Structure 1
């Protein structure tokens, strides 16, 4: 942008972690608790206090993420339970509160893990019994060859004994099938298992059981791959939500900083067609000037002063230079305020006042008072 400035932005770790905590807790973008303490200690130069506060924020944020993972597993098991019609007991997900300590959250996770493991085993056993019962509801006509069991001449048929052994083996094998395997995967395993009904010897039954094992192995592999894809998608969604929270925090902090210095800040026209990172800064004593600012991904800020109408005289150009100097001073003051909010900036490019003629704004500037802007922020925080 001509006649302006570009700066790289870096958010403090306390800001990043606290924004992540706020998203889990369902709160707005404001910083509180140890996050605010860490920033205050940074501003005061108290390294030890900052390190302690930041360590607590990291611990709390990590504990909250562990809770989110367990809640996701509960939801997945509940979905599986509904699909296969099981009656396995599942714990309620935890809705973490701000007052809960990291130790309390970690204890909940530790106590929950064996419960979820048992629930998953119960679902697998239910699925195994379900499939096995479908196959062995009616005694099979096969499995009647001599298997080394007591023969008919001693008054006992080998068929029930062999069938019982095969049924028990099948049920044990079936418990290895992950309960959230896709319906098509479960059907493929069941189709192989149904071949047992037509076997005539224990050797034939073992061959079918081996095919069932192979299909379960393949089904579990594909299920694990699907789980991994879902984890990646969840991580991508989380990263996108975090990036948006950081960008919004930067925009709101910039808005507050300049409003506190007497500027009016309104969304830029680009907000209607782009990603909402454009702002327009105006002042009551600037009838002919405004500043167009854009924040890109909470990583870069670009700003340029523009005129509403072309300069027509030397006096106009003198006023332009004065406004540019005023703006440069305000930008430096804003950088100091933003640093206190955990937003560090490094100027990458700057055009000094009066070097170039100010460009003319392509759009009429929008106005919006401080009260209107704060109301919009309150609406976002709801």
Structure 2
């Protein structure tokens, strides 16, 4: 990399939190209001005001995530209720909108006991279903979900109450095969003749419920893990996009033309090409990796042919280095701190020639044709 610069990029906490809030709220790439206030306070050196604004952003972002979790649980319980044919008194999912953090927190606190009660009632419904099939099913057999039946055991009423109490521990979102295994064990009660035999069967039911619930908890944990991975990937993409947009805005404000590089017609690969009208033979190639690392280097569009060309190269390199420092100041105001890890001073090496001159213009034309086809 000739006349190159490498810098580590760190996003301010206000940027990170605000981008997360915007994703939850479904807004664009702009910062949320309080996050912008925190950045303004940072730029103005008002530490106390920044701390207050940032604390409010953190509280609001945390409350938004709590609402997302409750909304997901409401959807899961509604799906479970439909699967087992039960009525569930579930609260409506909340659209956070412009609600305050206090309002969001209050809704979560009021919703939690409702969700716990709904889950309990779904478990009781499932328990009653199994008990009814075992103790009242016709002699020819139970449904396919519960196995075979026989005349009720002599200890019917007590056993049924114990069975329903034990079955109510089965989590309602147990998988079909897990419910079937529990029901098959419970179905053995129909063949018991003594209280001891019935208790042995009930113990087997307990064990199968424990196994089923363990599997349910494992699936829930796996779903939470996948959701966290999706959230992290979306956050990383939002941060990378914010860095790219901020760099683009900073250099465009200084008179540069900035074009994004695309691996395909639709996939932004994180590269930028900077040009100026007064630079017919030069451009700067920049690459942003994961919103954490920036690399940039100046290149020539055609080989240098004279000492005068090389003199111009050094002038352009100096101009570019000054512009990069000015851009760092602008980016700092946007909550993006950059620490230069490596720099090659102007004139140290001969500028490389761009691999394929005009490639950027070709890609821009491709993107324009792509947009026209989809309009």
Structure 1 residues 79 and 269: alpha-carbon distance in aligned structure 2, compared to 1, 3 A threshold: closer
Question: Is the Cα–Cα contact under 8 Å of residues 135 and 152 in structure 2 kept in the other structure?
Answer: no
Query: TM-score, length-normalised on structure 1?
Result: 0.89
State the alpha-carbon separation in 1 of the partners of residues 49 and 74 from structure 2. Answer: 38
Q: How does 1:313-352 map to 2 (within 5 A)?
A: 313-352=306-345
Residues 270, 278 of structure 1: 8 Å contact kept:
no
1:66 corresponds in structure 2 to 66
Task: Name the SS of the counterpart of 1:200 in structure 2.
Answer: coil
Please name the residue that 2:120 is paired with: 121
Query: Given the alignment, which residue of 366, 369, 377 partners 2:360?
Result: 366
The match for 1:57 is 57
- Structure 1 portions without partners, runs of 5+: 144-158, 377-382
Which moves more between the two structures, 292-301 or 192-201?
192-201
Give the corresponding residue for 1:153: none
User: Paired residue for 1:9?
Assistant: 9
Tell me the equivalent position of 2:81.
81
Aligned to 2:174, what secondary structure does the other structure show? coil
Mapped to 2, the partners of 1:256 and 1:189 lie a distance apart of 62
> Matched residues in 1 for 2:262 and 2:191: separation?
73
Structure 2 equivalent of residue 380 of structure 1: none
CA contact (8 A) 1:4 1:351 kept: yes
Task: Provide the rounded CA distance (Å) in 1 between the counterparts of 2:2 and 2:121.
Answer: 67
Alpha-carbon spacing, 1:333–1:64, altered in 2? closer, same or farther (3 Å): same
Contact kept in structure 2, 1:142 and 1:201, CA below 8 Å:
no
Report Cα offsets for 1:141-162 as digits up to 9, x if no partner. 363xxxxxxxxxxxxxxx3xx1
Equivalent position to 1:192, from 169, 185, 189: 185
What is the 5 A alignment of 1:1-382? 1-98=1-98, 100-138=99-137, 140-141=150-151, 143=153, 159=154, 162-268=155-261, 270=263, 276-363=269-356, 364-367=358-361
Deviation at 1:274, TM superposition (A): 7.3
- What 5-or-longer segments of structure 2 have no aligned partner? 139-149, 371-375
TM-aligned CA distance change 1:33 to 1:273, over 3 Å? closer
TM-superposed deviation, 1:165: 1.0
Decide whether the 8 Å contact of 1:19 with 1:31 is kept in 2.
yes
Cα deviation 1:6-37 (Å, max 9, x = unaligned):
00000000000000000010001111311111
Query: What is the RMSD of the two structures over their aligned residues, measured on CA atoms?
Result: 1.8
Provide the secondary structure at the position in 2 that maps to 1:305: strand
For the 8 Å contact 2:22–2:32, the answer to whether it is kept is no
SS at match of 1:89: coil
Structure 1 distance, partners of 2:192, 2:176, is 26
Deviation at 1:89, TM superposition (A): 1.4
Distance 1:224 1:294, change over 3 A: same
